[in-house]
Structure 1
Amino acid sequence: MLTTAFFVAAMAAMAAVLATPLPVRALASAEPEARVIVRFKPGADSVRAKALSLRATRAEAREVAQTRATALGLRTGQALAAGRSLDERTHVVMSRGMTAAQLAQRLAADPEVELVAVDRLRKHFKLPDDPLFGGANVNPETTVGGIQTRVIDQWYLKAPGTVTNPAVVSSINAPAAWDLTTGSGSVVVAVIDTGVRSDHPDLAGKFLPPALVGQIFAGYDMVGFSSNGTSQQANSITMANDGDGADVDASDPGDWITFAENNTAGGQFYHCEPADDGSYPQIDSSWHGTRVSGLIAAASNNTTGMAGVGWGLKLLPVRVLGKCGGYDSDIIAGVKWAAGIAVPGLPTNTNKAKVLNLSLGGSGSCASTDSTGSLYRDAIGQVNATGATIVVAAGNSKGLAVGLPGNCPGVITVTALRHVGTKVGFASIGPEVTVAAPGGNCINVGAGQPCLYPMVSTTNSGATTPVVGDASYTGSSASVGTSFSAPIVSGVVGLMASVRPALTSAESTAILKVTARAFPTTGGTAGTPVCRAPDSTEQAECYCKTGICGAGMVDAAGAVAAARTLNDATVTVTPSSATLTATQSATLTAAISGLAAGKTVTATHWTLLDGGSNPAVLSALGSGADTSTVTVVPAAAGSFKVQADLTDSDGYVHSQTATITVAAAPVQPTSSSGGGGGGAAGAAWLAGLLVAALALRRSARGG
């Protein structure tokens, strides 16, 4: 038996070993930093030895994460530094002297590790009296010197067919939606992006009041979060580009990249952003988050600038992208925080977002068998459980497959259309796409010729650092991409939530699909083919098909009207008894009332949103009308939360959540037995860790 004296001595000895820095060989300044995300097993000794609360301060989270990283490094023979924590047992871990893939392979072999994912960078991928809304209806396209010109306007918001020469068919019919609502100030849309210039006049009043003293506006900057004063912190702040790392200031300081940063071999941003000709030039700041924000909710009917899709919506900026993009860990932390989910080391977000816009992404799979995909799936599931909807840009891979996180279940993925309704050449497509929306396109292709159908939005004229108080708009510049299709849909979902506050992700997805307008089959460039399923070959402009570019073209008016009708029906979830008993079988029944005459329920789907500390086991998941009742076997006392999604004969989904209470199972007499208690580090683990620490130290010293 491990005596108290031995336990204290072992802990003291181990603490002394861990407190002394490991001798690490000198590393060249150009040696790359390897970053991975490590999730420990729930029963791992290092997890049981010291728990991490979701409400932990940054200092507390840093201490626990570094202790676990140090122990992991001692066992694997690699000096490790810990970064941010994503939950109670998932942390960023960094090292040098090997690639991230090599580090992941080494750490994945440790018996305490559940999964390891490389922490990869992802990148950002547009009848009020506002002047930029009107324009081209009064001044149609003309040809000057053989070059087409037109007054730039917000063609993408208007009713289909009202912009002519040629006819614009992909516009979303926002004016008819505005007759129903221009957006509620209680609906918050999170912009998960580069940050936002809140000093732009058309974004004035769009941000919630500051929650902390000295905060510019509600939101958070995730970029530059580091564990301690190591070299990793210097690199993180360089990437943050605002000199202060992660903090409550989510304003966009600019994400420019100098020529040296883009070309210096081994530098932090070596070959980060290539040009079309293969060179690596200086890159100006994108002001990407500001552009996205204007499309969602620019102040409207104010005789200034442009109109946002949802005039009255509020914005929550969450900065996750800096120079060269943003790490998966920052994006995942930002997504969870925006929805009000506790993240260790971050302050509580009291302004929970109802809609989250992610105009970003990269390569990768969201399969449950993929480590990175598992982390995204888990975060998306948690966000959906709060009642929030995530909208993601499909990507700009020129007709190739949708990347991560757009290929994850539980999100609304948006691809981009030209003004005539064909797929824009740059847009990614595939079965993961939910719906299509305008993404901007240029008819003129010659050098210096104006882009005729850009996505007009708010921006800043600063090439590097921002021009304070600037009132610039993207104008005739080539502001195009699925990055600007997604916020159009986010604004529409915000309008939907304004008329149906209880809107769920399942409901919003179904509504957008059912109300989408059919893709056109004519009107494109001569010789335009029909889009095919994505493969290894790029495809430019093509005529969309359902199932490849989503269900159709977004119809804002139809979607908002449909969301309002959902309020007429009520779903109830009833357990077989007021309080269920642990380990005993029971049933849950979902029913609906208030459906319009002639409508019926065609399918019922059950989702376990939160199993609590003692998860419930659903023995059946609904996939037909006969599954309105399901069997559950709760594991132990506590509670669990489920959601029932009922699809009616028109294709609309009606959702309801319910929290079910579980009583403890009757106590069964058992024979007495010896044994130690759980939750503390075992003798074998303590002794093994101490031996490993001493051995590694001798090895590091050369004998």
Structure 2
Amino acid sequence: MNEQSSTVDETLVTQPAAEAQRPDAPEVVPGELIIKYREGMAQQSAQLAGLSLSAVRALSGGETLVRVSGGGLGAQSILSAQATLDAVERLREQAGDAIEYVQPNYIYRALAVPNDPYYSLQWHYPAMNLPAAWDITTGANSPVVAVIDTGQLNHPDLAGRFVAGYDFISNTSTAGDGNGRDSDPTDVGDAAVCNGQQQPNSWHGTHVAGTIGAATNNGVGVAGVNWNARIQHARVLGKCGGSTADIIDAIRWTSGMTVSGVPANATPAKVINMSLGGYLGSSCAASDPATQAAINDAVARGVTVVVAAGNSNDNAGLYTPASCNNTVTVAATETRNYRAPYSNYGSAIDVAAPGGDTSADRNGDGYADGVLSTLRDASGTAYNYAFYQGTSMATPHVAGVVSLMYAVRPGITPAQVLSTLQSTAKPLSSTQCAQGCGSGLVDAYAAVNAAKNGGTTSPQPVSDDTAQGAITLTKAASKSGSVSSSDTQDWYKFTATGGSVTVRLATGSDADLYLYDSNALTQLGASERGGSQTESISRTLTAGKTYYAAVVRYSGSPNYTVSVSGAAQ
């Protein structure tokens, strides 16, 4: 079996330095105290302290919530946190036995923003609305996530995250560990001369694993998408890549299927991350049916397979597994939510996620705009953290979110996972992505919340949220619809008869109109006038071809009417 090189094009940069910051003082509700009086002593306690205390309400533990006034604490001063703390101290010192205890009415906030010192440099998490998802779940009871990649390293920030994996590299010269397949998935490094170029050790699987589930809120290093992730490494990539045969067996084994000569997997995964791929020049179904069959079998067992689009600034439909059916194929974005310059694109893309761009520092933090995660230095002597870029980095963001979706809805199916990711994604404008980024940028909160509260127990049908489910539009009749925050776009298709065609959109609030070619890939025109103005696109189109129009919500929940006129059926 010929080996395929992995489409990895990430860049290592200097390890960042950052320190966790402690707040200067507790947050309190200004002017409010919680007091537990001793029996019959309420008035005396207030008088002793020289304060006027008005009861707001009784609390369930026998305490009283009170508001402070008087006693030198004027209307302005009780608005300050410090004056409130001073009032607490005055009561403690002067009320004596009249009170059992007194304290401020503290303000507590969701602890979903982790205390990992490098978290502030992980711009890629807020970009996909991940902190809000952590307020729903941080991954308790989530399933195993398999990382089919270069293997496992015992990075300190991944301690306790691993379940037993396997080394599937059958070629001993490629493996670099002196043997073939075995139960030790350790990444021994992949430095080699490949296609005439010296490649350093990438420690690629460790970077991917850190994004999925680095130990989080532990005051060390970086945060992971899933705070409670269980990660299973299947080593398939060694020197200069890995082979289809090894990758297929890894897909089957991590999914819980039997692989000849390999012990049964005691902890099968429900999510597979494959940040790898190769150029085949045609679709997966046409050129690599063996990989397609393995993916189909995994999905049939309820496993969601998340794959990288590839880093060649090319049509993802020419790469595998990016073009395989039954996958979640992920393009990469950078800090502005633009498609990253290297990211593959096209109709094979399902969603996009942050992959970074290490050629820039657009957010001005002094570091390259890559994805920060766990790594080892090039020599293999020390563990560190580094910024990489690539669709390889975008993919584990999605795999981690998918594992959170399983945590809140264990019975969710792969079809429902994909449908939910697509229907909740944030659409990208034609400026941000002109060549196909699927349904847009993954919104972690919206996806996890929808998985928890919505959906059905059966796979969702293809809807008009995608080009595949586009509604037929004719010049004989207009179509009406609505796009809201949970249903952000509607697709239509029509057939041209040759000559100038106009597509028009009348809305009740702000929606935009886009015209695409017969592959629903190349944008032919856009109308983004804003407000409730009528959007209109006129183009000369080829007779007999089908073209696509997309109505995309910008704000509000626009009701609209879309029509086509001119040289169209």
Indicate the TM-score class for this superposition, using the shorter chain for normalisation.
Answer: 0.5 to 0.7
Q: CA deviation at 1:400?
A: 3.9
How far off its partner does 1:505 sit? 1.1
**SS in structure 2 at match of 1:182:** coil
CA drift at 1:120? 3.9
- Cα pair distance change 1:367/1:155, threshold 3 Å: closer
Which residue in the other structure is 2:436 paired with?
Answer: 548
Does 1 or 2 have the higher relative contact order (CA < 8 Å, sep 6+)? 1
Give, in whole Å, the separation in 2 of the partners of 1:603 and 1:335. 26
Work out whether residues 365 and 404 of structure 1, in 8 Å CA contact, stay in contact via their aligned partners in 2: no
Q: Would the alpha carbon gap of residues 423 and 382 (structure 1) be closer, same or farther in structure 2, given more than 3 Å must change?
A: same
Question: Partner of 2:352: helix, strand, or coil?
Answer: strand
Q: What residue number does 2:131 align with?
A: 175
CA distance in 1, matches of 2:392, 2:284: 26
C-alpha displacement of 1:548:
1.0
Q: 2-side partners of 1:289 and 1:369: how far apart?
A: 26
Matches within 5 A, 1:396-475: 396-402=311-317, 403-444=319-360, 451-463=367-379, 466-467=380-381, 470-474=382-386
Cα offset, 1:238, TM superposition:
1.7
| 1:206 aligned onto 2:121 | no
**Deviation digits for residues 225-254 of structure 1 (CA, Å, limit 9, x no counterpart):** 2xxxxxxxxxx2121001122100011101
Judge conservation of contact 1:125–1:393 (CA < 8 Å) in 2.
no
Amino acid in structure 2 at the alignment position of 1:553: L
Displacement of 1:295: 0.4
Whether 1:386 aligns to 2:354 is no
1:191 Cα offset (Å): 0.3
| CA deviation profile, 1:674-700 (whole Å, cap 9, x unmatched) | xxxxxxxxxxxxxxxxxxxxxxxxxxx
Deviation at 1:389, TM superposition (A): 0.3
1:195: which partner in 2? 151
Partner of 2:124: 156
Letter in structure 2 aligned against 1:156: H
Query: Which residue in 2 is equivalent to 1:71?
Result: none
Q: Which residue of 2 aligns with 1:245?
A: 180
Other structure's SS at 1:131 match: coil
Once the two structures are superposed, residues 338-393 of structure 1 have per-residue CA deviations (whole angstroms, 9 ceiling, x without a partner) of: 100111111111211110000000112675773x4211111111000010100000
Q: TM-score, normalised by structure 1?
A: 0.49
Map 1:555-634; keep pairs closer than 5 Å. Answer: 555-566=443-454, 569-570=456-457
Q: Secondary structure of 2:337's match? A: coil
Aligned with residue 483 of structure 1, among 392, 396, 402: 392
How do residues 252-271 of structure 1 correspond to structure 2 at under 5 angstroms? 252-257=187-192, 262=193
List aligned pairs for 1:32-181, cutoff 5 A: 35=1, 120-124=4-8, 127-134=113-120, 153-158=121-126, 171-181=127-137
Residue 308 of structure 1 corresponds to 224
Taking structure 1 as reference, are residues 120 and 418 closer, same or farther at Cα in structure 2, changes over 3 Å only?
closer
Asked which structure has the greater CA Rg, the reply is: 2
1:49-75 per-position Cα deviation (integer Å, ceiling 9, x unaligned): xxxxxxxxxxxxxxxxxxxxxxxxxxx
CA contact (8 A) 1:222 1:320 kept: yes
Q: Equivalents in 2 of 1:369, 1:555: separation in Å?
A: 29
Identity of paired residues, percent? 40
Deviations 1:62-98 (A, max 9, x none): xxxxxxxxxxxxxxxxxxxxxxxxxxxxxxxxxxxxx
Cα RMSD of the aligned pairs, angstroms, is: 2.8
Per-residue deviation, residues 521-545 of structure 1 (Å, max 9, x unmatched) = 5xxxxxxxx5xxxxxxxxxxxx314
Amino acid at match of 2:175: A
How many Å apart are 1:282 and its aligned residue? 2.9
Q: Which residue of 2 aligns with 1:148?
A: none
Q: 8 Å contact 2:284–2:323 — kept in the other structure?
A: no
Q: Which runs of 5+ in 2 are unaligned?
A: 11-112, 464-468, 471-485, 489-569
The one-character-per-residue Cα deviations of 1:461-510 (angstroms, maximum 9, x if unpaired) are 142xx32xx43000xx5x10111000000001011011011121101100
Cα distance in 2 for residues equivalent to 1:513 and 1:437 = 12
Partners of 1:443 and 1:451 within 8 A in 2: no
Alpha carbons of 1:353 and 1:132: their partners in 2 closer, same or farther (altered >3 Å)?
same
How far did residue 424 of structure 1 move? 1.0
How far did residue 451 of structure 1 move?
4.8
User: Which amino acid is the alignment partner of residue 492 of structure 1?
Assistant: V
CA distance in structure 2 between the aligned counterparts of 1:185 and 1:317, rounded to whole angstroms: 19
If the length of structure 2 is used for normalisation, what is the TM-score? 0.60
Q: Is residue 455–residue 480 contact of structure 1 (8 Å, CA) maintained in 2? A: yes
- CA shift, 1:173, in A, is 1.2
In structure 2, how many angstroms separate the alpha carbons of the residues matched to 1:603 and 1:290?
36
Residue 447 (structure 2) pairs with residue 512 (structure 1): no
Partner Cα separation in structure 1 for residue 438 and residue 487 of structure 2: 15
Residues 596-647 of structure 1: CA distance to partner in whole angstroms, max 9, x if unpaired? xxxxx8779xxxxxxxxxxxxxxxxxx99xxxxxxxxxxxxxxxxxxxxxxx
Q: Per the alignment, in what secondary structure is the counterpart of residue 360 of structure 1?
A: coil
Q: Secondary structure at the match of 2:376?
A: coil
Would you say the 8 A contact 1:366–1:405 is kept in 2? no
Q: Which runs of 5+ in 1 are unaligned?
A: 1-34, 36-117, 135-152, 159-170, 209-217, 226-235, 263-271, 274-279, 522-529, 531-542, 572-589, 591-600, 605-622, 625-649, 653-703
Matched, 1:499 2:408: yes
The answer on whether the counterparts of 1:125 and 1:395 sit within 8 Å (CA) in structure 2 is no
Instruction: Please say if residues 393 and 486 of structure 1, whose CA atoms lie closer than 8 Å, have aligned partners that are also in contact.
Output: yes
* SS at structure 2 position matched to 1:282: strand
Q: Secondary structure at the match of 1:459?
A: strand
Q: Please say if residues 121 and 328 of structure 1, whose CA atoms lie closer than 8 Å, have aligned partners that are also in contact.
A: no
Aligned length: 364
In 2 relative to 1, CA 360–219 (structure 1 residues): closer, same or farther, beyond 3 Å? Answer: same
Question: 304, 322, 339: which is aligned to 2:238?
Answer: 322
Counterpart selection for 1:222 from 146, 168, 185: 168
Q: Partners in 2 of 1:417 and 1:254 — Cα distance?
A: 28
Q: Distance in 1 between matches of 2:275 and 2:284?
A: 23
1:184 is aligned with what amino acid?
A
CA shift, 1:154, in A, is 0.3
1:121 Cα deviation after fit? 4.2
- Structure 2 distance, partners of 1:444, 1:190, is 31
Rounded to whole Å, the distance in 2 between the matches of 1:420 and 1:285 is: 30
**1:570 Cα deviation from its structure 2 partner:** 4.6
CA contact (8 A) 2:254 2:265 kept: yes
**What letter is aligned with 2:166?**
Y
* 8 Å Cα contact 1:366/1:373 also seen in 2: no
Name the one with the larger strand percent.
2
Classify the secondary structure of the residue corresponding to 2:199. Answer: coil
> Cα offset for 1:184?
2.8
Within a 5 Å distance, the mapping from 1:347-386 to structure 2 comes to 347-364=263-280, 367=283, 370=286, 372-386=287-301
Q: Deviations over 1:306-332 (max 9, x none)?
A: 000011110000000000000011111
Q: Which whole-Å CA distance do the structure 1 matches of 2:237 and 2:359 have between them?
A: 31
**1:173-207: per-residue Cα shift (whole Å, max 9, x none)?**
1110000011134411000000020x211100101
The letter of the residue matching 1:178 is W
Write the distance in 2 (CA, Å) between the matches of 1:356 and 1:496.
14
